[in-house]
Amino acid sequence: MSSNIKITLENICPYVRNAGRGVINWQGRVRKIYDYQLMYFVRGKGTYFLGDEEYTITPGCIILIKPNTPHTLKFEGHH
């Protein structure tokens, strides 16, 4: 059995559930979702907790969260 996996464009079916500028209503609470999540930060500063790792976020940061990964976000001041 070959260990090579071939993925073609016909096998990829991305789905965008939410896009836009919005309020993050789960800030400060640990959550886990069952899809990939891509977040781009336009403004604000804070800390992103992804599993056991901690990251400083500033405008221009992009974060990719894998499915089933506990994560939370805490902004400093107003966002």
Residue 13 has pLDDT above 80, yes or no: no
For residue 75, what is the enclosing H or E element? strand 71-75
DSSP 21-59: S---TTTTS-B--SS-EEEE--S--EEEEETTEEEEE-T
pLDDT, residue 33, reads 84
pLDDT, residue 78, reads 57
pLDDT, residue 76, reads 81
The CATH topology of domain 23-75 is Jelly Rolls (2.60.120)
Residue 73: which of 27, 36, 16, 25 has the closest Cα? 27
Task: Give residues with Cβ within 8 angstroms of 50, minimum separation 6.
Answer: 63, 65, 69, 71
